[in-house]
Amino acid sequence: MNLNMNSVESLVAQIQGLSGNIAELNQLRTYLKHSDDLLRAESPRLAPVLNELDPSVHSLGYLYILDACTSALVPKEQAKEFVLHIARFINVCAVEQIRLAPEKFISVCKRFKEHVLLLEDPIRGVAPLLTALRKLQMSSEQLTTLHPEFLLLCLLSKCYKTGLSILEDDIFEVDQPRDLFLYCYYGGLICIGQKQFRKALELLHNVVTAPMSIISAIAVEAYKKHILVSLIHLGQFSTGLPKYTSSAAQRNLKNFSQPYLELVNCYTTGNISDLEACVQSNKEKFETDNNLGLVKQVVSSLYKRNIQRLTQTYLTLSLQDIADSVHLNGPKEAEMHVLQMIQEGDIYATINQKDGMVRFLEDPEQYNSCEMIEHIDSSIQRIMMLSKKLTGMNEMMSCDPAYLGKAGRERQRFDFDDFDTVPTKFNI
């Protein structure tokens, strides 16, 4: 026992000594890796050791000791203490040092999340995890394992706006595929909560079309929500999946979401009563999937769709007629609906209150202002950047041995008079 404590002391001395520059840090890291088992054996007694180290200077050593401390199951009181320690550590740690041991950092943060959930106070974890995320990312285009954890905490603590700030970044690099699935799914949920249906649709679409060799439960849930959000936002849903979807998804997803596809069929008819009947019949299934709230939004969006369809036929219409054709209860309700749609920008119209007539107008955007120039210009810049990235990826793909192997095999099936100077078989 004493011998072990002595080694721990010497370890602490090493950490304090070797936290100077990058060469020393590499040395320290190898040393710490060797001492990992020792640390784990000593985990109950390591808590006071933390006080001897300064987290901002000795971040790497502190990280290893923290990891060893929290690896054992902790009772609730100690959890509070650890939460404080870890939060403080995340706020002051040195970025270069923790990037030397990313897996340890991720596991410490995961345990932090678990403790916070244990204490039933998820909001305490939101800010520290945001800092941790930013410190771990190499660039704002990288997705780390901490992203979905952070979004989960945001969802549980209802801090949707903080979550949205992370979702603004475009992701181009992913460490683990599972991270992407969870990140996009949680992100979709947050956007639905904030009523940003366009972004939610995009994120859920990413989950459904992401490459997967076998179908995953996350994808199935995302597909169900995708159907509902698509109905709310676009007013339609196409059952065909784009060609970049994995074949596993294309074949199996539909089997798991039968009630939702029935809902789609009822929606397209445009009949409110049919839709409500459909909802009633599948109510339990929607409830078990926690989607009943969304389904109710789908029903209310059908009114909007029908009113929008009226704009394509009529130039002016009385409120009474609107109420009749859309099966609303009266002109007052119709006025409320139309007003809300004008406010949200779904429709361009003026209501004449004297005779209860609604005039449908065209989109007043004339495209003759300087703000529009700036808007289009920024879009062009974004798409130029995207185009560069795409060409880069295309070139990388062309050099990929997996692709070259299969492309070579394909060539043998061409006609014999299709003479190619390129070799017909790639032996890689």
Residues binding another protein (CB under 8 A): 211, 213, 243-244, 246-247, 366-370, 372-373, 376-377, 379-380, 383-384, 386-387, 390-391, 393-394, 397-398, 400, 402-403, 406-407, 409-410, 413
For residues 361 and 338, is the Cβ–Cβ distance under 8 A? no
Contacts of residue 339, Cβ cutoff 8 Å, sequence gap at least 6: 351
Nearer to another protein, 138 or 393 (CB): 393
Nearer to another protein, 13 or 396 (CB): 396
CB count in 10 Å sphere of residue 203: 25
Q: Residue 52: is it exposed, middle or buried by C-beta count within 10 angstroms (0-12/13-18/19+)?
A: middle
Nearer to another protein, 181 or 360 (CB): 181
Q: Least Å distance between CB 248 and another protein?
A: 9
CA dist 310 → 1, 307, 336, 363, 388 (Å): 82, 5, 16, 16, 43
3-state secondary structure of 350: strand
Q: Least Å distance between CB 425 and another protein?
A: 14
Nearer to another protein, 367 or 416 (CB): 367
Q: Least Å distance between CB 378 and another protein?
A: 11
Q: Residue 99: is it exposed, middle or buried by C-beta count within 10 angstroms (0-12/13-18/19+)?
A: middle
Q: Least Å distance between CB 394 and another protein?
A: 5
Q: Least Å distance between CB 214 and another protein?
A: 11
Contacts of residue 334, Cβ cutoff 8 Å, sequence gap at least 6: 319, 320, 322, 323, 326, 328
Nearer to another protein, 30 or 394 (CB): 394
Q: Is 190 left (phi over 0), alpha (psi -120 to 50) or beta?
A: alpha
Q: Least Å distance between CB 370 and another protein?
A: 7
- Angle (CA) 343-344-348 rounded to 5° is 70
Q: Least Å distance between CB 279 and another protein?
A: 36
Nearer to another protein, 22 or 383 (CB): 383
Closest C-alpha among 195, 181, 198, 120 to residue 153: 120
Nearer to another protein, 120 or 415 (CB): 415
Q: Least Å distance between CB 401 and another protein?
A: 9
- H or E element: which one contains 274? helix 272-281
Nearer to another protein, 293 or 414 (CB): 414
Tokens representing 330?
């009266």
Q: Least Å distance between CB 295 and another protein?
A: 33
Tokens representing 261?
């596809």
Nearer to another protein, 367 or 419 (CB): 367
Per DSSP bridges, beta strands 349-352 and 357-360 are antiparallel
Residue with tokens 């403080």: 88
Tokens representing 218?
């996350």
Nearer to another protein, 72 or 373 (CB): 373
Tokens representing 186?
């949680």
CA 76, CA 4: separation in Å to the nearest integer?
A: 27
Q: Least Å distance between CB 235 and another protein?
A: 23
